[in-house]
Structure 1
C-alpha cells in the first residue's frame, strides 16, 4: 500500500469512527428526552428524562395525540356556535318618548321574528313593533322605559342648508357596538320629489333609522336609504357620492303622534343652543340604539 492509499484508508476509518461517535451521542441525547402528556391541558411536550409532571408516553402515541388535538382545534375554528340564533340584519333607532318608544325604519324590522335594541351601555333589551307605516318606511318599537333623554324633533320648517350629524351604527367591516357620529349637511339645491330630505354624508348599511341632527341638537330627519351611485350613473351619466335620503321630521312627528307617542317639545334646560354640545356628544348618543333583527 502506497502512502496516499494509506492516508485515504486512515481518513475513511477516522470518518467512520466519528460517525459512530456522533450516532452514539445522538442516541444518548434521545434517551435523555421523553414525551410527556399533560391531561389537564391535553398537550404533549418533550422534556428531559425525569422532568415529566404528567404521563410519559411513546413517540408514536405522542404523534397520535398531537394529531387529535390539531383536528379538535380546527373543528372549533370552522364550526359556528349553533346554540345562538343568527342575526338577520340590523339598523339604528332612537328614543323619542319616555315610555320606551324607539323610532326606526320599517325595512329594518319588517321580516324579523324577534327584535332587540342594544343600548350604548351594551344592554340588550327586547322590543316589539307597535306601529308601522309602509308609505314612509317607518316603524315604532316599544321596549322597557330607559333612563335617557328622548331626542326632540324639529318639524318647524325646511332644513335645507343646515350642517348636520348622523348618529348611528354604520357597517364598517363589522357591526359597531357603539354609536358613531358622521358629519354632513343638507344640500339646498336638491328637492327629492317624494318630500324626502337629501343628506350629504357618508351614509352606509346600518344607518337606516339613524337620526339626522342639526347644530341645535334637534332631529330634522331619519335616514331611510343611501343613493345607489352606480344606478344613477348608469341612468344619467352623473356621478353622485355620499348622498342619502331621510324621512322628514314632519312625517316622523305625524307618525309618532298617530301612534300615541307624547313627543318632547324641547330639552330639559329649555335652551337648545346651550344644550347642543352636551347633547351631541353624550345624550344624543345615549338615546341612539342598535336595532337587531333575529
Structure 2
C-alpha cells in the first residue's frame, strides 16, 4: 500500500591485534548530472515552497511520500513524470512557468474533493478531510467518523487521555494477524506508530501519536476496488495530520531518553510525519548504525562502511581500530557521547525461526525501534537507510546479532522501507570479536522477561545506539 560533539581527547590507544588489510572499496556509481542539478535547484528554494511542490505532486498523482521538503528520487521522478505529461522537457527542474501550472493542477484536484484541513474538537487533533467523498459525519467516543455515502471509505479519529493506554498496547493490537487480516507494513517509533494492512476486501492505514496530552490518532479504511483513487487521499490525510496542534515543541531529547518502557516521550507535542524523513538542515543522514561499548568504542557491521572511508560519530572523525577475522565487524573509536555506554547482554544461541525481535536503527537524531521476526540467519523488519550495523535484540533485551548490511538501492514505498529480510552478523561472532578486543558483555537485568514489550526490551540499549555518518 502506498500510503508510516567533538571526539574525546585520549592518550595512545591500547595495543590491539593488527587489523587485516582492508579490501578496496567498490567503485561508486557516477553521479547523475541531471539529478544533481535538480537537487541543487530544489534545495535552493525555501522549505515552505519545497513542501508545497511535493504537496501538489501528491494531488497530481506523481508523488507518494512525505511532504517533508527534502529531495530524493521520489521527488525527482515525480517532477519528471509531471513534466512529461505536460509535454515539457523532463529536466526535474521546475521553471517559472512550471510552478504555477503544477500548483494549479494540484489545487484543482484538492478543491474537487473539498479537501479541508480542520480541527477535530472531539479528538483534539487537526486533520485533512476530503469532504466531497466523506460526506457523512458522526461522533465517536473521543473522536469523529467521516464516511462515504456508500460506506466504502471511512476515516476515524480517536484519542486517549494520559494514562488511558500506551503505544505498545496499541501497536500490539494493530499488528495482530488473523486469517482475515494481513499486516503489510508496521513501524513503531518513540512517539508514534504506523500500521497498514489488508483484509480480503479492504485496506487500512492506522497511525497513533503520543504526547503530554495522551494519544491521538486516526484510521482510514477503504474497499480494495477503490485503491487507485483512495491511496492518494491516504497520503494527503497522513501528511495533514497534526495530533497536538496547540502543544509547544518539546525540548531536544537525548538518545537515551527517546523511548520509555511505555513508549511515549514525555512532553512530545510537535507532530511527527507519518513516515520519518531525513531532517533538513540538521546532521547528515546516517550511513550506518553503531552500538556504543563505552570508552569511546563503537561496534558496527564492516559492510556498512564499505563506501565510507571517513566515518563520523556525532560529527567528529572516528578511527577504525579493529576488524574481526571474518571481515563482518568493525570497531571504531570516537565520540564523547559513547564514553559511558555499557555493552548489552549477548545471547549466543540463535533465535528460533519466527521469534519476535527488536531492531534499533540510528536516525539523524536519536534512534528508531522497529519490530522484527527471526529467520534463518536473518531478521525480517521494516528498516530504513542507515540500518546497517543496527543491533538486534530478543524480547528480553539480549543482543542476538547486528544487521549485516542495508541494500544499496532499497525499494521504498511511500518514502519508507517495507518489511524486508536482512542478513545478520550472529551473536557468536560478535561475542568472539568483543573478547578479542577486551570488551566484556553486559548482564541482563532480571526485570526483563522474554515476553517484554518493544519499549521495555529496547529501553536499556537505546541510549547506546549512535549514528555513523560519512565525511567527505
Q: Which category describes the TM-score, using the shorter chain as reference length?
A: 0.5 to 0.7
CA contact (8 A) 2:360 2:368 kept: yes
Change (3 A) 1:290 1:275: farther
Give SS of 2:425's match: strand
Cα offsets for 1:4-62 (capped at 9, x unmatched): xxxxxxxxxxxxxxxxxxxxxxxxxxxxxxxxxxxxxxxxxxxxxxxxxxxxxxxxxxx
Residue 151 of structure 1 corresponds to which residue in structure 2? 344
Report how far residue 111 of structure 1 moved: 4.8
Q: How many residues align?
A: 187
Higher relative contact order (CA 8 A, sep 6+): 1
- Give the CA deviation at 1:107: 2.5
Distance 1:168 1:105 in 2: 12
List structure 1 runs of 4+ shifted beyond 4 angstroms: 86-89, 226-231, 274-279
1:92 alignment counterpart: 289
Whether 2:132 is the aligned partner of 1:165: answer: no
Contact 1:108–1:293, Cα closer than 8 Å, also in 2: no
- Which structure 1 segments of 5+ residues have no match? 1-73, 79-85, 119-123, 170-174, 192-196, 232-239
Q: Name 2:423's counterpart in structure 1.
A: 245
Q: Tell me the CA shift for residue 105 of structure 1.
A: 1.4
Q: 1:151 to 1:279 in 2, by over 3 A?
A: farther
Query: What CA deviation, in whole Å up to 9, does each residue of 1:102-130 have, x standing for no partner?
Result: 11011333454432223xxxxx4542111
Matched, 1:273 2:464: no
Q: CA deviation at 1:293?
A: 1.9
Asked if 1:284 is matched to 2:461, the reply is yes
How far apart are 1:151 and its partner, in Å?
2.0
CA deviation vs aligned residue, 1:70-98 (integer Å, no higher than 9, x gap) = xxxx9x937xxxxxxx9696110112x33
Which of 361, 380, 386 matches 1:206?
386
Deviation at 1:146, TM superposition (A): 2.1
Contact preservation (8 Å) 2:312, 2:469: yes
For 2:285 and 2:464, locate their aligned partners in 1 and report how far apart those are by CA, in whole Å. Answer: 23
Residue pairs, 1:117-136, within 5 angstroms: 117-118=313-314, 124-133=315-324, 135-136=326-327
CA distance in 2, matches of 1:291, 1:285: 15
1:261 maps to 2:439:
yes
Q: Alpha carbons of 1:163 and 1:209: their partners in 2 closer, same or farther (altered >3 Å)?
A: same
Q: Render the CA deviation track for 1:133-153: whole Å, top value 9, x for unaligned.
A: 373421011235522333222
Given the superposition, is the C-alpha separation of residues 198 and 107 from structure 1 closer, same or farther in structure 2, using an over 3 Å criterion? closer
What is the CA RMSD across the aligned residues, in angstroms?
A: 3.8
Asked whether 1:103 is paired with 2:299, we answer yes
> Normalization by structure 2: what TM-score?
0.34
| Partner residue in 1 for 2:330 | 139
Please name the residue that 1:82 is paired with. none
Taking a change above 3 Å as real, the CA distance of residues 229 and 89 of structure 1, as seen in their structure-2 partners, is closer
Of structures 1 and 2, the larger Rg is shown by 1
Q: TM-score, normalising length from structure 1?
A: 0.53
Q: Is the 8 A contact 2:294 2:343 kept in 1?
A: yes
